[in-house]
Structures are given as C-alpha cells and as structure tokens.
Structure 1
Amino acid sequence: MSTAIDPELVARFKAALDRLNPDGGKIGLAVSGGPDSMAMLLLAQEAIPGQFEVATVDHGLRPEAKDECALVLTACEERGVPCEVLTVKVGEGNVQAKAREARYAALDRWGKRRRIRTLATAHHANDQMETILMRLNRGCGTSGLSAIRDRTYVSRWRALVRPLLSFSRGELGKVVESARIAVAHDPSNADTSFERIQIRSALSQIDCLDPKGFSVSAQHMEDADMLCEWAVNMWLSDNEKTEKGGLRHPVPIARYMHFPILETQFRLMGATPRGRDLAQLMDQLRKGKGGNVAGILVKVDKGDWVYRPEPPRRTG
C-alpha cells in the first residue's frame, strides 16, 4: 500500500536503519498508535517492506488503550505487517518509570520469541530537545546531556535503536497526514503536572529553536562522553581499590576529573542521582566532608574518596 510519503524522508529513514542495523536483520517496531510511531510504521513500509514486525503494548492503565492497540492492529493488517498486542502489568511507584520498565521487558520477550534482535522506538528530534533541556535544568554532566542515544540495549541480546532522532515532530506529522491514517492521542501529553509537558508547552512559544540542531549536539556530547568515560576508566584502573563492599581511590589532582569520576562510580554502583545532587556532593568532598546521595555514602578518608552502599534500615 503506497502512502505518497516524501521520498527524501523515506531515504533518510532507510539510511538511519542501515547505520543502526548494519546486518540488515528483521526489526521489531514498537508502535503505540500515536502519530510518531504510526509515522515510523509508514516509513518502514516504504523503506524496508517485509523486513519488520510490529508490537503494540497495552499497559492496562487507561480504558482507551485497547482501542489504541486495535488501531495499530488494523493499520498493520491493511499493510500485511505481522503485529502482536503485548499486555503488561505496571507495578506500583512512579507510574511512568514502571510502565517504561514493563514495556521494554515485554518487548524484549517478544523479540526473543520472534527471533528479532533489534527493536526500534519512535523517539524524534523534539523528544531529544526536551530531554536535553530537562537535563540541563537538573545540572547533568556529559553522560546525561548525551540524552536519548540512537542505539542502546534492552537486554544482552536485544538492541534498541531510534532511527527518527533526525526527524522533527512536524515532519512525522506530515507523514501521517499524507497517508490519511487514523492515530491515537495520549491524554497524558496534555498533563502539565509532568516536567516534559511543561517544557514542551514553553517550547511551543519559541520559534527560533531547531530540534534537529539539538539532536546533532546530543551526538557530539555522546562522543565527548565516550572520550571522558575512557579517560575515567583508565584513571580508575590505576588508582581504584575495592574494600569492605565499597570502593576507594585518591582524590583526583585534576579538578575537571571530579564530576565525571563521581558520575561513573555511582553508575557502577547502580545509582543514578541527579546532576545537581552530584555537584553538591562534589563540593562537600572538596571541603573534606561527605554525604549520602541516591543510597550511596561517600566520605573523605586519609586523602581518599570512599564509596559504600547505605546500610539497610532497621525495622521493628
């Protein structure tokens, strides 16, 4: 089924897939029914027909979800694309985080069952711009400012690619319009209690910002972060010691190494604090003091920085 999509957009999408999925294996598209992911479905049908399958996830959080999944099923059936609805249960706590965790776990299981080693989501340049601004607001370092990376992993054997990071929301909207295809609209995208929606609302009043420029900057920041990570790992391999369930290393002489080393150590210990919290901890450490951030206790001892997980709290 032809969609009369701009050939330049199709070529750009195909080039992104060739780079992110160089072995040319079958790709699994995560399609929610929203305009961005439906545009990805349409682009894939033009660029790689017969080389992809679709999964759509019902989180069970809204009654409309079943209709949205049915919308995706219909669009796929009309185009002869294999599609499956994945039903998940979202745990208690941060709803968005728990839903994301459940979604990726379900997609990973689906990919394993369908023998698909590469999954694709519809994150685009506007998502990237919003993420960068949110993380700038939190005081993140190079790792955080790399924002949404175009290739990561949901598990050891399943890559997650984002081939639309060079596409703006407006371009994807035109893809959907040209196909005259029905799409779903998530009401949470209008909920201003979410930080991202507040940022998005503010950005809608500014015409001079280029989302694609933010995506290019994020790529440069990712390159810088990889170089920084290499330098930090080299330094730690020469200076770090393990003791009593924790880590110890001398205070780096170069002050510019302090923040990336802290960031790396927390990541290795399974913690992801906000940048501003790490910056405050860094200031305390430079004064010879310490602190507890994201469940990790850090202190200065005999000229070393010492890291240990916070002990479990007593109950009863």
Structure 2
Amino acid sequence: MLIEPFKQLITRIDEQIHQKKILLAVSGGVDSMVLLALFTGLPDECRPNIEVVHVNHHLRQESNEEEKFVKEYCHQLGVICHCKEWLECHHPLNNLEAAARDMRYAFFAKIAKEQNCDYVVTAHHGDDQAETILMRLVKGSQFRNLGGIQTVTHRANGLTVCRPLLIFSKEMIYEFAKAQNIPYREDQTNQITTYTRNRYRLQVIPNLKQENPNLLEHIQNFSRQIGYANEVIESVIEPLLADIVISKKVTCWQLDVTKLLRESEAVRYFILVEIMQQALVEKGVSINERQLSAVLSLLTAQKGQGVIQLSAGWVFKKRYASAFLMIASDTSDSNERVSEPYQLSVGENLFLSDKEWVTLVSAGETVIFPEKCQGWQRWELAVSSDSQKYPLMITRRQPGDKMIYNAQGQRKKIKRVLIDQKVPKEDREKIWVVRDAQQEISGIIPIKKSYLSIITETDKIHYRLIYLKGES
C-alpha cells in the first residue's frame, strides 16, 4: 500500500506539514487523482490544508469533460478548485508542450501566491523519473541535469514544488486506484508513439524492466547520487565564480581568462558548465557538449582571439586576457559594448563607439583624423616603445584595478582615482583604461595618466595614444 510510505515521506519533507497550505495540481488522470486521495486520506496530525488547481488546455475533445469531472469531485470532497482555460487561440504554432508547461506553472504560481500556499504539489511518479533521466541521457544533457526530477525544487519566482509520488511506480498507482475505487480519466494521447516520451513510456521502460525488475529503484539511487555530486561540485565552483566572472549582464558575461586557466581542466569544465547554465540554459538556450568542448579548446589555444558560435544568437568570444559570453548582435551596439576589450598596435586606429576614436602613433608623427572626428575633444597619453608591452589593450576598468602614481612605484585603485577626480558614479563603469601586455595600466581615458606616462621621467617613451570624443 502507498499510504504509510507516503505519510512518512510527507512528514520528512516538512515536519510541520499539518500547519501548511498546499495547492495540488490535478488533471483528472490516475496519478493526480491518487495524489489527491492520499492527501485527503492523511490523519489530522499530518494533513495540510488542501486546495486544487486544474488547467483545461483545450488540446483534446475530452478537455471540457475532464474539467467538469475534477470540479465535481473536488466539490464532493469539500476542496476548493481553481481552474484555468488555455484557449486554442492562445496556442503557439511551435513548442506547444513547452509553452503549455510554462503557462501551467505561471498559473500555479499566481494561485499559490493569491491563496498563500506553501507548496505546489504535482503527481510525477517513478516511471516519469526513469523516462526523464533516460531521455536526457540519450539527448546528451549535461551531468548536472541527469539527476532528473527532484522531490522538492525552489523556483526563481518563489514557487516551491513538491513531488511526493516519485517513490512509487505507475503500476503501484494503478493498483492503489483500483483497490480504493478512485475514479480517474485516461488520456488516450498517452498511447500515441509519435511523441518521444510515449515511446520511452510504452517501449523503452517496459523492456528495461524486463532486464531488471528493480529498474526504478536503481534510477532513484542514480538520481540521488547525481544530486550529491552536484552539491559537491557547486561547493567547489561557486567561490571560484566570484573571482573569475568580472561582470555579468543579461546579454553579456565577462570572464578573466588568466584566472580560469589557473584551474585544472576538470574544474574549468564545471566552471563553464555553471556559467552556461546561469547565462543560457536557465533562459531556455541549449548548449551541447560539442559547443562546450570548442569553448574549452579556444580558451587553451595559443591564439589570443577567437569566436565560437553557440545557439540562439549567442557567441563565446576570447580577447586575450578576457572572454565574453554574449549575444552576437551586441557587438554592433555601442551602448552594450561596455566591457569589450580592444587591441591597439602602433599605426592602428579604431572607433571605440560612435562618438569615440583612438589611434597609436610614433612621437612627432603627423596624424590624419577621420572627417567624422573633426571638432571632437582631444586627449593624449604618452606610452613606452618597449616591445614587451605590446599590443596595448583598451578595456573597461575591472574590480581591483590599480595604477602607479608616483616615483616610488606606489599604486592607487582606479576606483579611488575616479572618486578623487569627482567622476559621477554612474559614469565610472563607462571609463576606458589603457593596459599593456603585462597588464600595467598607463592611463584612464580621458581622466588620469599613470606616472609611467610622464615623458620627463623616462627616455623610453616614443609613442602617443590619441583619443578623440564627440559630444553625446
């Protein structure tokens, strides 16, 4: 029987469950109807306050009848039932299943918040778990996602989802429904093998159970082991991320390549997996092992620059000591190029943005400025001709950046320099700094020059960096 192990699991999930309010997702199928029966059948000392939520997807002719069935059954039990209709006119042309799932959980979150529910409870069971893990394994999912469905998950929108039937097989659920005379509706589309999950459910899983009747138990053990491994990996990776990720925005993450390459290959791999998970996967952008391997190869390659095309318009770009995970279109938007580094050698010039131009020339050389730049404000910086310091890099300032400010070689944080120069806080992240190949900062454009750039202090300075800026 399911009752006793279900009771034990529920109280293990939350010892105070009897003081909580839960929202049960009930479709009318055998799984959710058994879930409803198990909760309503709990003794008072561990039975929570129960409400039901049902979504009519209007995907089948039986949808309206199932909604009516769930409403009437809840009325008989004296349980409040919240229903939503997803009309056919709102169905997307593509990715219908994903859109339906997103719509459902958005509705669950809305009702849970309105009714002050502590948990949303769904009827996922052991066979669902096996299907999910095997499908992900065959598809080539990342290691962290092979754990499948978790008993309790906390969503970003504050929703806590609980799945207490994962410890039971579909067969056990059917047997319980029959023994307890629990009514339910059967979705005939579950028998259609054109759907991938149905093929696993009807063909793959039964064959594997014949190979080993303990399949579901082993799948649950595997899921738990993956969960433990993920906890260990996360405990190692999270502190490193804070040091390696220089900045992150919705469409652009900047990484410190030098620090990333100090780690072992295994640690680098899982750092990138976590970054991809946060930046891409959680937004619905997939990343495969081939793409991840290409990124790892680019990072360790001798060449200082390169780009890997990912998915949905995202790219991974290496620029010497920095790397960028970003939307490719952002490279043409001057407002979004706040962290992109630029390489500059003698005789070269480039536009940092639509209103900023820079060149590097020999001392005394006549400079021909672009016609567009006529009348723009000018700022110059003297730089050394020492070949070991080239190419120069023009980047946004990074946390902890310092520059030499006196003959004793003492350093001052760029942040403090900007404060001393009374640069508004909102403008500080837009400041450019000039750094050489040895990462020494020679100037803050167009704010401050390093002591190293003072011509009278050294005879090795032969080049001029000229910066022009137009009115915004």
Q: Give distance in 1, aligned partners of 2:118 and 2:248.
A: 39
Q: For residues 15-26 of structure 1, what are the structure 2 equivalents within 5 Å?
A: 15-24=8-17, 25-26=20-21
Deviation at 1:218, TM superposition (A): 0.8
Question: What does residue 76 of structure 1 align with?
Answer: 74
- Is the Cα contact below 8 Å between 1:50 and 1:81 reproduced in 2? no
Deviations 1:145-177 (A, max 9, x none): 121111123454321111111111111111111
Higher relative contact order (CA 8 A, sep 6+): 1
Structure 2 residue 30 is matched with structure 1 residue 29: no
Deviation at 1:269, TM superposition (A): 1.5
**Alpha carbons of 1:125 and 1:280: their partners in 2 closer, same or farther (altered >3 Å)?**
same
Deviation at 1:99, TM superposition (A): 0.3
Q: Select which of 262, 265, 275 maps to 2:272.
A: 262
Q: For residues 211-226 of structure 1, what are the structure 2 equivalents within 5 Å?
A: 211-226=216-231
- Is the Cα contact below 8 Å between 2:34 and 2:182 reproduced in 1? no
- Is the Cα contact below 8 Å between 2:315 and 2:327 reproduced in 1? yes
Q: For residues 190-229 of structure 1, what are the structure 2 equivalents within 5 Å?
A: 190-200=191-201, 201-206=203-208, 207=210, 208=212, 209-229=214-234
- Is the Cα contact below 8 Å between 2:316 and 2:326 reproduced in 1? yes
Question: What does residue 255 of structure 2 align with?
Answer: 248
Question: What does residue 39 of structure 1 align with?
Answer: 34
Structure 2 residue 324 is matched with structure 1 residue 306: yes
1:210 aligned partner, one-letter code: L
Q: Give distance in 2, aligned partners of 1:203 and 1:144.
A: 20
Structure 2 residue 274 is matched with structure 1 residue 281: no
Q: Report the 3-state secondary structure (helix = DSSP H, G, I; strand = E; otherwise coil) of the residue aligned with 2:123.
A: coil
Structure 2: 5+ residue stretches without partners: 333-472
**Alpha carbons of 1:243 and 1:284: their partners in 2 closer, same or farther (altered >3 Å)?**
same
Question: What does residue 3 of structure 1 align with?
Answer: none
Q: Give distance in 2, aligned partners of 1:211 and 1:185.
A: 23
**Alpha carbons of 1:80 and 1:292: their partners in 2 closer, same or farther (altered >3 Å)?**
same
Q: Give distance in 2, aligned partners of 1:279 and 1:184.
A: 44
Q: Report the 3-state secondary structure (helix = DSSP H, G, I; strand = E; otherwise coil) of the residue aligned with 1:300.
A: strand
Deviations 1:33-70 (A, max 9, x none): 11111111111111255621111111122221111122
Q: Report the 3-state secondary structure (helix = DSSP H, G, I; strand = E; otherwise coil) of the residue aligned with 2:317.
A: strand
Q: Select which of 231, 238, 254 maps to 1:233.
A: 238
Deviation at 1:254, TM superposition (A): 1.1
Question: What does residue 7 of structure 2 align with?
Answer: 14
**Alpha carbons of 1:20 and 1:129: their partners in 2 closer, same or farther (altered >3 Å)?**
same
Q: Give distance in 1, aligned partners of 2:331 and 2:128.
A: 39
Structure 1: 5+ residue stretches without partners: 1-5
Deviations 1:220-253 (A, max 9, x none): 2112112212211111212221289432132443
Question: What does residue 87 of structure 1 align with?
Answer: 85
**Alpha carbons of 1:268 and 1:155: their partners in 2 closer, same or farther (altered >3 Å)?**
closer
Deviation at 1:311, TM superposition (A): 1.4
Q: Give distance in 2, aligned partners of 1:178 and 1:12.
A: 17
Q: Report the 3-state secondary structure (helix = DSSP H, G, I; strand = E; otherwise coil) of the residue aligned with 1:182.
A: coil
**Alpha carbons of 1:156 and 1:283: their partners in 2 closer, same or farther (altered >3 Å)?**
closer
Deviation at 1:283, TM superposition (A): 5.6
Query: Could you state the TM-score of these two structures normalised by the residue count of structure 1?
Result: 0.87
Q: Report the 3-state secondary structure (helix = DSSP H, G, I; strand = E; otherwise coil) of the residue aligned with 1:164.
A: helix
**Alpha carbons of 1:262 and 1:91: their partners in 2 closer, same or farther (altered >3 Å)?**
farther
- Is the Cα contact below 8 Å between 2:276 and 2:287 reproduced in 1? no
Q: Report the 3-state secondary structure (helix = DSSP H, G, I; strand = E; otherwise coil) of the residue aligned with 2:59.
A: coil
Deviations 1:176-219 (A, max 9, x none): 11122322222332232222222222222232152132122212
Deviation at 1:287, TM superposition (A): 6.5
**Alpha carbons of 1:136 and 1:282: their partners in 2 closer, same or farther (altered >3 Å)?**
farther
Equivalent pairs, count: 307
Q: Report the 3-state secondary structure (helix = DSSP H, G, I; strand = E; otherwise coil) of the residue aligned with 1:273.
A: coil
Percent identity reads 25
Q: Give distance in 2, aligned partners of 1:66 and 1:313.
A: 50
Question: What does residue 175 of structure 1 align with?
Answer: 176
**Alpha carbons of 1:228 and 1:189: their partners in 2 closer, same or farther (altered >3 Å)?**
same
Greater shift in the superposed pair: 233-242 or 288-297: 288-297
Structure 2 residue 304 is matched with structure 1 residue 294: no
Q: Give distance in 2, aligned partners of 1:281 and 1:39.
A: 48
**Alpha carbons of 1:313 and 1:290: their partners in 2 closer, same or farther (altered >3 Å)?**
closer
- Is the Cα contact below 8 Å between 1:55 and 1:84 reproduced in 2? yes
Q: Give distance in 1, aligned partners of 2:34 and 2:7.
A: 14
